[in-house]
Structure 1
Amino acid sequence: MGHGRWQERSRLNVPGPFYAGRTDSGLNGPYYLPEHVLSDDEHCEFVHRQPADPREVAALVEIAHGEPLGGYAWDGDRHWTPQAVRDWWSRRDEVRAWIGRELDLSEEGRNEPEALRQYAAHLDGGLEAYLRGYLFWLVEGREPRPGEALPDL
């Protein structure tokens, strides 16, 4: 558990400590925790929304624990760099296009349409603020204080 390989992570994982790489095709994450986990074109799970509180962390760890291939990990802070986060953000249109294709195919049941719409809304809404805070964390090694300037994406 928690030994996913960085090199195998899905390009759709949102930058942050949690990510998934090679997982089985059981799709437990998208089924039990669609507000955080979806499945990519290869039926591998990925984290589309990082947990924001202890309960969400526990839920994601529980999904990871039930993944037989051990494809989840939470060492993303050791791998993401500010430039890599900015590069991911610069390719968000590719993610948006993937979401659109998935919504067109949603009858196959791999991902819930509502979860896909939530990912799109997060991409267009709060994700930028989260990523700016995550950049601060990567550079400064701490949470930003209220009113403290955040790095640009």
Structure 2
Amino acid sequence: MTYWDPLPALAALPADSPYADVRWDGRWEERNWRNVPGPFYGAATDTCWTGRLHAPESVLYDPEYGLEYVYRQPRDPGEIESLREAACEEAYGGYGYDGDLYWTPDAVRAWWRDRGRVREDAFSLGWGEWATIGREALQDLAAGARAYVAHIDGDLNGYLRGYLFRLQEGRAAHPGERLPELRP
């Protein structure tokens, strides 16, 4: 997976959608450390576990407090719409989409170097005690955590290299262009 800029697709979503009045009030300094680098993130969200109902391909929950975070950046317009729905249902307006203003190449590389902490956290959700409890919402959480581990172990490296290119060059890479390494 390479980087795809989701912000133009967000701006192009229909204004007459029931989810058009979403509050994107998330504050960068309050973001959850589990958020994967990119424009979207969960910050001071509620604890109602509604995000995965709308965006299971993008949203997970903090196991201790139930705070929502973005484990995979949207990959197409449908996932943008789903994430907007999740953000609209979030009572505190705790999602943000201004991460591009704050992520720097050094910060992305630092997150990548520390990904073991994030992976360990997701692994404990996907295969630990949370995965053995029979409630449907917890089984869904465990499935999402397993998807996050697979993302970290799989295509996240390519996505982040493309995101680094976007941060450095101000545009997505063209096919065949060399992408920066995550290790400086």
TM range (shorter): over 0.9
Cross-structure match for 1:43: 66
Using the aligned pairs only, state the percent identity.
48
Which structure 1 segments of 5+ residues have no match? none
The CA distance in 2 between the partners of 1:105 and 1:22, in whole Å, is: 26
The CA deviation at 1:58 is 1.1
Deviates more, 1:40-49 or 1:124-133: 40-49
CA displacement, residues 82-109 of structure 1 (integer Å, 9 cap, x when unaligned): 0000000001110111012213132274
Structure 1 residue aligned with 2:27: 5
1:1-153 superposed matches below 5 A: 1-40=23-62, 41-103=64-126, 104-106=128-130, 107=133, 109-110=137-138, 112-153=141-182
For the pair shown, the structure with the greater C-alpha radius of gyration is 2
RMSD across aligned positions (CA): 1.3
- Cα distance in structure 2, aligned partners of 1:38 and 1:88: 18
Alpha-carbon distance between aligned partners in 2 of 1:105 and 1:7, rounded to the nearest angstrom: 31
DSSP-derived class of the 1:112 partner: helix
SS in 1 for 2:26: coil
After the TM superposition, which segments of 4 or more aligned residues of structure 1 sit over 3 Å from their partners? Answer: 108-111
Structure 2's unaligned 5+ residue stretches are 1-22
